[in-house]
Amino acid sequence: MKQAVEYSQDRPVLIDKFLEDAIEVDVDALSDGEDVVIGGIMQHIEEAGIHSGDSSCVLPAVDIPEAQLNVMRDYTFKLARALRVIGLMNVQFAIPRGNGKSGNGHQEAKVYVLEVNPRASRTVPYVSKATGVPMAKIAARLMTGRKLREFLPEYIEQAKDLDTGRNYFVKSPVFPWSKFPGVDTVLGPEMRSTGEVMGVADNFGEAFAKAQLAAGQKLPTQGTVFISVTDHDKPGVVEVARRFVDMGFRLVATHGTADKLEEAGLAVDRVYKVKEGRPNAVDLIKADRIQLIINTPHGPDPYFDEKAIRRAAVSSRIPTITTLSAARAAAEGIAALQRGEVRVQALQALHAERRVSQP
**pLDDT value at position 151?**
95
* pTM metric for this prediction: 0.81
Domain boundaries, the chain: 22-164, 213-338
Query: Tens of pLDDT along 9-18?
Result: 676 777 766 6
Ordered alpha helix ranges (H), the chain: 2-7, 66-82, 124-131, 135-142, 153-158, 204-214, 234-246, 255-263, 281-286, 304-316, 324-338, 347-357
Between 233 and 145, whose confidence is greater?
A: 145
Non-local CB neighbours of 261 within 8 Å, separated by 6+ positions? 227, 237, 238, 241, 251, 253, 268
* C-beta separation of 41 from 61 below 8 A: yes
Between 157 and 315, whose confidence is greater?
A: 157
Query: Tens of pLDDT along 274-316?
Result: 777 788 888 998 899 999 999 887 654 445 667 778 778 877 8
**Does domain 213-338 bear CATH number 3.30.70.260?**
no
SS3 199: strand
Type of residue numbered 168: Y
**pLDDT value at position 3?**
67
> Out of 12-26, 153-167, 310-324, 326-340, which region has the weakest mean confidence (pLDDT)?
12-26
SS3 140: helix
Q: What is the mean pLDDT of residues 71-76?
A: 96
**pLDDT value at position 132?**
92
**pLDDT value at position 33?**
92
Written out in words, the top-level CATH class of the domain with range 22-164 is alpha beta
